[in-house]
């Protein structure tokens, strides 16, 4: 059933060791990093995850806490607009915050330029985002006049601060030996030469590669039942919009572990897992 809902459901690996054993993968000293996977309009799960992160960080004795969101805040779930409002209005105090762009935000921005983008966007969750902004999606989706009206309504209903949020999303973020991106990187291409298209959309070519990318890539985009940790990458998209399980990766020093909101739990309830791994 999971595979039918999400398409490719990959078997997770429980742990990893970096491809360069002389120096274990680390984040900078005195730093703890929390990376949160694809949210997709599940405000309830984001709120639950924020509560988990705040409780988890209480015992942190370092000097720097970093919160990295891996993108895909919108689409599929019913509270895309409310999710962005929450991120803007209730940021976690005491954390540096990094908001990455996902392919769904890229598509939203493309729709503002070209209404024809809606034809494909609707097929993978865009209608839920439009509804959350008060825009109905009635009418044929292959009719340019209809799509143009949708675009005009969306422009009119999109708060200026939301547009700034989407426009200011970044493509990648680096912490020590880890690179955070939405989808992955293209094998054989230096990290500083990756294209936006690959960072937001790549799948099999990256997922099936055992290449040492020079950094361990932390990513979302491809759904797995549990976090997928390999020598060269860690995937943490656990299909929150349908599974109820939003996952975060916690990195400190040369170790890491996972937090998640639990499978099939009611909204606003959450539990941390003990799914750690050896980063050395």
Same domain, 98 and 137: no
Domain that holds residue 13: 2-102+169-278
**Percent of the chain at pLDDT above 90?**
81
pLDDT for 24 beyond 80? no
pLDDT of 270? 32
Same domain, 189 and 94: yes
pLDDT of 144? 92
Check which CATH number belongs to the domain holding 62 and give it: 3.60.21.10
Q: Kindly report, residue by residue over 95-149, the tens digit of the pLDDT.
A: 999 999 999 999 999 999 999 999 999 989 999 999 999 998 876 677 899 999 9
Q: Kindly report, residue by residue over 35-86, the tens digit of the pLDDT.
A: 999 999 999 999 999 999 999 999 999 999 999 999 999 999 999 999 999 9
Q: Which of 119, 144, 166 is the last residue of a domain?
A: 166
pLDDT of 139? 66
pLDDT for 4 beyond 50? no
pLDDT for 9 beyond 70? no
Full-model pTM: 0.87
Domain total for the chain?
2
Same domain, 80 and 216: yes
pLDDT for 220 beyond 80? yes
Same domain, 95 and 197: yes
Same domain, 93 and 231: yes
Q: Among 202, 233, 273, which residue's Cα sits nearest to residue 16?
A: 233
Q: Which of 138, 166, 194 is the last residue of a domain?
A: 166
Same domain, 222 and 236: yes
Q: Kindly report, residue by residue over 85-94, the tens digit of the pLDDT.
A: 999 999 999 9
């Amino acid at each position: 059933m999971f595979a039918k809902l999400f398409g490719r459901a990959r078997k997770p690996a429980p742990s990893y060791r970096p491809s360069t054993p002389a120096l274990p993968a680390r984040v900078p000293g005195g730093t703890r990093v929390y990376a949160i996977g694809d949210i997709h309009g599940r405000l309830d799960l984001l709120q639950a995850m924020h509560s988990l992160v705040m409780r988890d960080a209480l015992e942190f004795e370092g000097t720097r806490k970093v919160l990295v969101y891996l993108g895909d805040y919108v689409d599929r779930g019913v509270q895309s607009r409310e999710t962005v409002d929450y991120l803007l209005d209730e940021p976690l105090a005491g954390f540096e915050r990094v908001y990455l762009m996902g392919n769904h935000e890229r598509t939203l921005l493309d729709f503002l330029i070209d209404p024809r983008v809606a034809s494909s966007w609707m097929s993978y969750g865009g209608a839920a985002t439009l509804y959350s902004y008060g825009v109905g999606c009635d009418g044929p989706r292959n009719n340019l006049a209809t799509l143009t009206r949708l675009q005009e309504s969306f422009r009119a209903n999109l708060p200026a601060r939301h547009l700034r949020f989407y426009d200011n999303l970044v493509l990648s973020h680096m912490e020590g030996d880890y690179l955070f991106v939405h989808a992955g990187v293209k094998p054989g291409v230096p990290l500083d030469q990756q294209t936006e298209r690959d960072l937001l959309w790549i799948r099999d070519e990256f997922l099936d590669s055992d290449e040492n990318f020079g950094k361990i890539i932390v990513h979302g985009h491809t759904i797995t039942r549990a976090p997928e940790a390999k020598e060269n990458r860690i995937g943490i998209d656990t299909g929150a919009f349908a599974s109820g399980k939003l996952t975060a990766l916690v990195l400190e020093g040369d170790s890491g572990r996972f937090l998640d909101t639990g499978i099939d739990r009611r909204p606003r309830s959450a539990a941390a897992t003990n799914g750690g791994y050896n980063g050395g």
